[in-house]
Chain A
Amino acid sequence: MIQLYKMAWRDLGRNRRRTFFSMLALAFGVALLLFMASFIAGEMRGSLQTSIKLQSGHLQVRAASYDEDKTSLAWEDLVENPDALAAQIASRSDVQVATPRLYATGIVVARDTSTGVRVMGIDPASAASAPFRDGMVGGDYLAADDRGGLLMGQTLANKLRLASGDTVRLLVNTSNGDVDQQDFVIRGIYSTGTPGYDENTIFLPLSKAQTIARAENHASAIFILLKDQDQVESVAAVLQGPAYQVKTYLELNPLLVEFEQYANAMMYVFYLIVLGITATVIVNTLIMSVFERTREIGILSAMGMRGGRIMAMFFAESSLLAVGGIVMGMVLGSLVSAYVQRYGFFVGDFGITGILVGERIYTYLTLNDIVALSIVAFIVTLLGALYPAWLAAKMEPVEALHGGK
């Protein structure tokens, strides 16, 4: 075996430039796939974390009859006396923050333009509102007792050509099925770095939102962030009760979970396509090698080397090419991924309905991706050697002895 690899190593060294470029082709393929895998993992991870932070939390406690798709404001669909429930949940040692939120649909009218928005009543002082507070890009943040101000996302403000201090009319659906309206001053402009979110979400202090939506002392959900995301199932089980439904972030982001599964499946298709292309380079290299070494194959055969061992010789070469190419590809792919992990990849307002995508996507390289890609690349490259190796093994020794240089 050692001798086999020694020979394979030296055979590859005969034409170093060709060997290098064959490895490079594989390396580019592997690097590209590694970057794609880390990009998708980063996007999925980033989107999920963004959604948890801004929208779903780790858990939400809702009234048992609440239907998210309808954004119901009927009192029987809301959590009554939410402050007390939130305080009770927040007292748990595994809960980082729990805060009531009210969700309503509305329309913002500015001058002669209007657009549909999601109106969210929040506790401005809650730690869960930190992303909005920290993301202020203009004007002032909300105060809990502000009755005439709102926060608007930067994307929406830009779209409507509004600035802090401007006045807009807000029409909001109410619990009794009517629409109420009031003029609000844009107290401040926020940016979460997620244009799709910033374009659709208006914040009011919870008490003001409850007033305008006629949902006094009610909330749509208790928004909960845990200290440890992995504890979500166990905490959900504890909070579950007959009057409430407890939703985990996985249940609250079904599209994201499905999209991730779909993306992972697609990655394997990409693996096979890209590695299939690079494998043709390896096949080409080995076929050239077989024809250049026809006489040597005849000599080895004359010595009594069986076809299987001749095949093994070419598989050894292929595996060395694979290892070289994969290592080079991993280094190249990891460097590119590390750069994008640090500085991000600007995609702008890249909207996918139901999924929050930030302006920048940061790659996330996992050991799982590295191992899976290495194994697939190695197997595909070995499979690529099958035909040249078979070609060499089936040569008749007499013809091979007279066929080469």
Chain B
Amino acid sequence: MEVTKIENVTRVFKIGQVETPALRGVSFSIEDGEFTALVGPSGSGKTTLLQLIGCLDQPTSGQVFVKGQDVSRLTRNQRADMRRGTIGFVFQFFALIPTLTAYENIEMPLLLDSHTHQERRERVMYLLEAVGLADRAHHRPDQLSGGEQQRVAVARALAPNPVLILADEPTANLDTANGAQVMEIMTRLNEETGVTFVFATHDPRVIKYARRVITLRDGLIVENNSAGKKG
């Protein structure tokens, strides 16, 4: 089953009078349970594509489907509702709320929906265990290493049981060992939970974890095949 489908999508950014095309007619679909890398050099359109799939942005033309629903023309609140519980994000800059503990950061998306305290607690503790941070539950981000923060971010993305997790350069700010650890966790969670992962990267050490690689250049898909680590 398709988790997301992109049909002839373009995205043009206009700064002043200057129009800059970030995507110039992109089409592909991603099936349930995939572990897919979007690769390409800086400015190739990877992040823009993730933002469109993640309902953070809207295409200039073309259509984006998530779970079969066209999300291209949704209102702000409709897009927020679509993101909530359906799509999880992992960002390059860790993106934790600095005033909240690891536990509270993971709990945050659950608070946006009607989960009981007990449900939230069980879910958060399960995810802290899953990313190996059960003993760091009550530490705040500034008390965690970069690798630990990114693992919390992965756990937070998984908290509401989304169908899709989008990760934008998840290891870019990590050293090799921590980057590998984060990728190992993402791979394992993909296999254990079946949640679909799509991540953008240009790091060859990360690409090898992907079971499918979509290569972008200058806003176009230049290669779309299964590569890297075979699942």
Chain A residues within CB distance 8 Å of chain B: 3, 7, 10-11, 13-14, 295-296, 299-307, 309, 396-398, 401
Q: In the complex, what residue of chain B is closest to A393 when comparing beta carbons? A: B76
Given contacts A301-B80, A304-B109, A307-B77, whether A13 and B57 have CB atoms under 8 Å apart is no
Does residue B74 face the partner (Cβ distance < 8 Å to A)? no
What chain A residues lie within 8 Å of B100 (beta carbons)? 7, 10
- Kindly identify, within residues 66 to 97 of chain B, every residue whose CB is under 8 Å from any CB belonging to chain A: 76-77, 80-85, 89, 91, 93, 95-97
Would B84 and A303 count as touching, CB distance under 8 A?
yes
B178 at the interface (CB under 8 A from A): no
Q: Nearest chain-B residue to A14 (Cβ)?
A: B99
How far, in angstroms, from A47 to B57 measured CA to CA in the complex?
Answer: 68
| Complex interface residues of chain B between 95 and 110 (CB less than 8 A to chain A) | 95-100, 108-109
Q: Is B54 an interface residue (CB 8 A)?
A: yes
A303: contacting residue among B51, B99, B109, CB under 8 A = B109
Enumerate the 7 nearest inter-chain pairs by beta-carbon distance, A residue then B residue, closest first: A304-B84, A10-B99, A304-B83, A397-B56, A299-B95, A303-B109, A306-B80
Bound CA–CA A59/B93 (angstroms): 80
A contact residues around B85 at 8 Å (CB): 304
CA gap between A228 and B85 in the complex, in Å: 69
B99 in contact with A7 (CB, 8 Å): yes
Nearest residue (CB) in A for B111 is A3
Query: Do residues A398 and B56 form an inter-chain contact, with CB atoms below 8 A?
Result: yes
A3 to B57, CA, bound (A): 28
Q: Are B76 and A307 in contact (CB under 8 A)?
A: yes
Which of B56, B77, B99, B111 makes the CB contact (< 8 A) with A302?
B56
- B interface SS class: loop
The answer to the question of B112 belonging to the interface, with a C-beta cut-off of 8 Å to chain A, is yes
| Chain A residues within an 8 Å CB radius of B93 | 295
List 6 additional contacts besides A301-B56, A305-B80; criterion CB under 8 Å: A3-B111, A296-B98, A302-B83, A304-B80, A304-B109, A306-B80
Among B76, B91, B108, B112, the residue within 8 A (CB) of A401 is: B91
Query: Footprint of A on B, CB under 8 Å?
Result: 51, 54, 56-57, 76-77, 80-85, 89, 91, 93, 95-100, 108-109, 111-112
CA distance A288 to B51 in the complex (A): 27
Q: Chain A: interface secondary structure?
A: helix
Q: Which of B82, B91, B95, B109 has the most CB of A within 10 A?
A: B95
Shortest CB-to-CB span from A56 to chain B, Å, is: 62
CA distance A309 to B57 in the complex (A): 20
Bound state CA distance, A206 and B51, in angstroms?
96
Q: Across the interface, which residues of B come within 8 angstroms of A299, CB to CB? A: 89, 91, 95-97
State whether A13 touches B99 (Cβ < 8 A). Answer: yes
Query: Within the assembled complex, what's the spacing in Å between the Cα atoms of A10 and B97?
Result: 11
Determine the distance from Cα of A300 to Cα of B196 in the docked complex, in whole angstroms.
21
Instruction: Give Cα distance in the complex from A295 to B184, angstroms.
Output: 27
- Rounded to whole angstroms, the CA-CA distance of A221 and B70 in the bound complex is 90
- How many angstroms between the C-alpha atoms of A309 and B80 in the bound complex? 11
Complex: A14 Cα to B83 Cα, angstroms: 29
Query: Are B57 and A303 in contact, with the CB atoms below 8 A?
Result: no
In the complex, what distance in Å separates the CA atom of A295 from the CA atom of B76? 17
A397 to B89, CA, bound (A): 12
A303-B108 in contact given A10-B100, A13-B99 (Cβ < 8 Å): yes
In the complex with contacts A303-B109, A304-B81, A304-B112, A401-B97 CB distance below 8 A = no
Distance of B23 from chain A, by nearest CB (Å)? 14
User: Bound complex: CA of A299 vs CA of B98, how far in Å?
Assistant: 12
Instruction: Report the separation of the CA atoms of residues A398 and B76 in the bound assembly, to the nearest whole angstrom.
Output: 12
Q: What are 12 of the A-B contact pairs (CB < 8 Å)?
A: A14-B98, A296-B98, A299-B95, A302-B83, A303-B83, A304-B83, A307-B76, A307-B77, A307-B80, A398-B56, A398-B57, A401-B56
CB neighbours of A7 from chain B (8 A): 97, 99-100
CA distance A13 to B99 in the complex (A): 9
- Nearest-CB distance from A405 to chain B (Å)? 9
Closest-by-CB residue of B relative to A11 is B99
* Residue from A10, A13, A303, A305 whose CB has the most chain B CB atoms within 10 Å: A303
* Shortest distance from the beta carbon of B82 to any chain A beta carbon, whole Å: 8
Interfacial chain B residues near A11, Cβ < 8 Å: 99
How many angstroms from the CA of A301 to the CA of B79 in the assembled complex? Answer: 10
Task: Provide the bound-state CA to CA distance between A304 and B87, in Å.
Answer: 9
Task: Assess whether B56 is in contact with A306, with CB atoms less than 8 Å apart.
Answer: no
Contacts of B76 in A (CB 8 A): 307
- List of B residues within 8 angstroms of A300 by Cβ: 97, 108
Instruction: State A396–B13 Cα separation when bound (angstroms).
Output: 14
Contact A398 B51 (CB under 8 A): yes
Q: Which of B96, B99, B109, B112 has the most CB of A within 10 A?
A: B99
Name the distance in Å between A392's Cβ and chain B's nearest Cβ. 13
Q: Please report the C-alpha to C-alpha distance between residue A303 and residue B82 in the assembled complex, in whole angstroms.
A: 10
Contacts of B91 in A (CB 8 A): 299, 401
Closest to A13 in B: B99
**A3 to B85 CA separation, bound complex (whole angstroms):** 18
Query: What's the minimum C-beta distance from B135 to chain A, rounded to whole angstroms?
Result: 22
